[in-house]
Structure 1
Amino acid sequence: MPNPKICREQTCLLEREAGQEYCTLHVRREGKTSEDLSIALEKYKELCGRQIHNAYLVKANFSGMYLDHCNFKYSDLTDANFRDARLYKVGFDFSYLDHADFEGIILERVDMRRIKSGLGIYFYQTIFDYVLLPHVDKIGKKCVYDTQEPREPQKAYDVYHDLIHIYRRLGYADSAGHYYECFMDAKREISTGLERVWLTLLWLICGYGERPMRTFLTFIFLIFTYAILYVAVGGPTEDTNNFIEASYFSVVTFTTLGYGDISPTGWSRLLACTEALVGVFMNSLFIFVFCRKMIQ
């Protein structure tokens, strides 16, 4: 015969709240206070252990609390407030953490790899100490500061900086590379003047070093653009004033092969000089970007 004073959740031995069928952790009420949660969690550890199943903690206030050696399993912590809290060896297996506030929190040896969803978590000024994060799809390809209105690019810049180092340490090169692009986008947005122009150029021609195919397409575009310019100024020479010959000369000049079978004249000499300089830069950039991706 079930005890009428005990929570109806099968894994829980806590007493029910007054007028409710469930305890503080499982009753479907939003905005539970840190005082109530602190008492309930201590009692739960004593009576039921450290695996907290099916807790309903939507908009719960964990602000400033210290949580250790526990695992919230199959729980709903959507919009929970963990601001300025400290978590040590805490797990969130198969739980929801969407839009949870982790600003200013200290995470020590926290395992978030098996969360169900964590889209829009506020990670600003979070201290990560050997934290295990889930796949990028579970926490979002863009951080909340990049998607909310108004956007906060400076906070996004700091968050992406932390995520890059975490995923590199975990060995997830693709995830780290993705957040590196986001990091550079945020940096470009908060920069001004020549720095912003330079970052925009890097984004266009190589995706900040993450997209070698973009560099290759820039190669093709520049080679044929110069070929058109050669034809426009009368060809590399009068005898080679056609698109086929101009394209051949453009490839030889851009790649700095310099066969010498065609010697430019007139304005083509100036174009050839600029193309050679651009070609040296683009060849070096392509080798760098390609090797960078292969090493990752």
Structure 2
Amino acid sequence: MSGSQNKICSYVNHLGERCHAPTHLSEFCYWHDHATDKSPLDTAEKLEAYAHSGGMMHGIDLKNANLENLNLVNHACSKGFDLTGADLYRANLKGAHLFNVVLIRASLMKANLSYANIHCAHLEECNLLGVKFHHTKIEHIKTGKMIIQEEKGIDLERQGEYKQAQEQYEQAEEVYRNLRKASEQQGLFILSGPYLRKELTMRRFQHPYFSTKRFYSKIVDLFCGYGEDPFRVISFSWLLIFISSIFYYIFGLRFTGEFQVFSLQSSVEENVIFFFECLYYSVVTFTTLGYGDFIPVGYSRIVAALEAFTGSFTIALFVVVFVKKMTR
């Protein structure tokens, strides 16, 4: 009984399932054996046959494998072949068809995906460092909320390992930049926008936590999402208008020669009406319309000057960001 077990591959996946392929030169089968050379020209053809025969694809070792023009599209099922945890380090996947393939927690590090088709591929927690995306079809790929280098960087930073975290952020920036360039190359600007934001965020994380560059980068992100989120500009505008109106409410305004300000001696109705008048004045000041019906006095002048300056800048910024998004 033990002799027959030795003839079966020893690989067990993360679900506790065992590969039932026969062993090759070690305790593992041909596809799970780390020492087996998979550079021959017929490797792609063999892998296709193995996949269609129902062989376990989890964790297969394809380092330096020659998989040019590989066709790994699972036509018999809506779900693609599952290569979770597979190692494709430096694999030649030029011209490969990998539609809807699952590569969760796999490694594509330095793999050549030039002219390949990875539409709808699942790449969550996949190592994409150094991947060649030259003319790669990447529409609807899924990379998750954050790539593996970003996640590692955050964990290392929490542990106080700032130098190692910086290296991970630098790698994450490179990955996001490559994905962004590949998206732009194909005109997939809806896809490239989030990758641009991630790229610049990773660049920000490489700066010291309390530094001018990191602070400035964070402000730009909060203002407009690095030029990719016009709704952030709108949200900031309304927030500034509301906060400024509160200051006017406290410091007071002059209307038709009469000074008005929040007062506990005034009725609730009068205070509520005055607050909405302050809100109206804040909108007028932010948009630099300046009707002249209300006049700031005292500290309200400082608030009005700052709001008018910020408002003119924010409106111009919104136009730039909005036009950028719409022209895509």
Q: Please indicate the TM-score interval, normalised by the length of the shorter structure.
A: 0.7 to 0.9
Partner of 1:245: 277
Aligned counterpart in structure 2 of residue 287 of structure 1, from 311, 319, 322: 319
Percentage identity across paired residues of the two chains: 27
1:182 alignment partner, SS class = helix
Structure 2 Cα separation of the partners of residues 48 and 187 of structure 1: 39
Tell me if 1:92 matches 2:108: no
* TM-fit CA distance, 1:289: 1.9
Structure 2 Cα separation of the partners of residues 191 and 55 of structure 1: 47
Partner of 1:111: 117
Tell me if 1:128 matches 2:140: no
CA contact (8 A) 1:63 1:82 kept: yes
Alignment-mate amino acid for residue 295 of structure 2 = S
* TM-fit CA distance, 1:252: 1.4
Kindly report the root-mean-square deviation, in angstroms, between the aligned alpha carbons of the 2 structures: 3.0
Aligned counterpart in structure 2 of residue 267 of structure 1, from 279, 294, 299: 299
Structure 1 Cα separation of the partners of residues 73 and 65 of structure 2: 19
Unaligned runs of 5+ in 2: 1-19, 75-80, 157-164, 262-273
Taking a change above 3 Å as real, the CA distance of residues 106 and 223 of structure 1, as seen in their structure-2 partners, is same
Partner of 1:189: 205
* TM-fit CA distance, 1:65: 3.0
2:234 alignment partner, SS class = helix
Aligned counterpart in structure 2 of residue 175 of structure 1, from 191, 213, 216: 191
CA contact (8 A) 1:34 1:65 kept: no
1:64 alignment partner, SS class = coil
Partner of 2:231: 213
Partner of 1:164: 180
- TM score, norm. by length of structure 1: 0.78
Aligned counterpart in structure 2 of residue 202 of structure 1, from 220, 237, 241: 220
Deviations 1:16-46 (A, max 9, x none): xxxx77697xx9787323635446x72774x
CA contact (8 A) 1:240 1:246 kept: no
Structure 2 Cα separation of the partners of residues 21 and 52 of structure 1: 12
1:106 alignment partner, SS class = coil
Unaligned runs of 5+ in 1: 1-19
Task: Indicate the structure with greater strand content.
Answer: 1
Partner of 1:155: 171
CA contact (8 A) 1:92 1:112 kept: yes
Taking a change above 3 Å as real, the CA distance of residues 64 and 145 of structure 1, as seen in their structure-2 partners, is same
* TM-fit CA distance, 1:124: 0.8
Comparing 58-67 and 156-165, the one that deviates more:
58-67
CA contact (8 A) 1:154 1:190 kept: yes
- TM score, norm. by length of structure 2: 0.71
* TM-fit CA distance, 1:105: 2.1
* TM-fit CA distance, 1:166: 1.5
Comparing 141-150 and 214-223, the one that deviates more:
141-150
CA contact (8 A) 1:51 1:73 kept: no
CA contact (8 A) 2:43 2:65 kept: no
CA contact (8 A) 1:51 1:70 kept: no
Taking a change above 3 Å as real, the CA distance of residues 44 and 98 of structure 1, as seen in their structure-2 partners, is closer
Partner of 2:308: 276
Partner of 2:145: 141
1:72 alignment partner, SS class = coil
Structure 1 Cα separation of the partners of residues 38 and 95 of structure 2: 18
Deviations 1:159-196 (A, max 9, x none): 11111121222333222222222223222222241121
Partner of 2:271: none
Q: How does 1:75-90 map to 2 (within 5 A)?
A: 75-90=81-96
Tell me if 1:68 matches 2:68: yes
2:295 alignment partner, SS class = coil
Deviations 1:59-110 (A, max 9, x none): 2322223321221244442222222233221122443322221112222211
Taking a change above 3 Å as real, the CA distance of residues 263 and 87 of structure 1, as seen in their structure-2 partners, is same
* TM-fit CA distance, 1:222: 0.9
Aligned length: 271
Alignment-mate amino acid for residue 262 of structure 1 = F
Structure 1 Cα separation of the partners of residues 248 and 100 of structure 2: 62
Structure 2 Cα separation of the partners of residues 105 and 43 of structure 1: 16
* TM-fit CA distance, 1:223: 1.2
Structure 2 Cα separation of the partners of residues 76 and 271 of structure 1: 59
1:249 alignment partner, SS class = helix
Structure 2 Cα separation of the partners of residues 78 and 21 of structure 1: 17
